[in-house]
Amino acid sequence: MELVVQNGLWCVAFYGDIGQRFKENLGSNVVPLPLESSVPRTEALTHLEKHIHTLSLDNLFPGGNSA
């Protein structure tokens, strides 16, 4: 997992098996955060740490169900 900027927003990029699952289920392994890239990286990291549970596949696809 890596914090990256894409299209002017801070995003989380997932790699490996979990990245592949995000790609298959959501069409991308990059998940945008509701933070513009003008926000300092430290603030983006704090936001990510506070809300990381909402980005889990278990939360997005309970019971292993996918679209």
At 34-52, the pLDDT tens digits run 999 999 999 999 998 998 8
Is residue 41 a part of any domain in this protein? yes
How far is 5 from 1, CA to CA, in rounded Å? 13
pTM of the model: 0.75
**pLDDT reported for residue 16:** 95
Q: Within a domain: residue 67?
A: no
Q: What confidence score (pLDDT) does residue 63 get?
A: 61
- Domain membership of residue 43 as a residue range: 2-62
21 occurs within a structural domain: yes
Number of Cβ within 10 Å of residue 30's Cβ equals 18
Residues in the chain with pLDDT values less than 70: 56-67
| End-to-end CA, the chain | 23
Give every CB contact of residue 33 below 8 A, 6+ residues apart in sequence: 9, 10, 11, 12, 44, 47, 48
The answer to whether residue 31 sits within a structural domain is yes
Question: Mean pLDDT, the chain, as a whole number?
Answer: 86
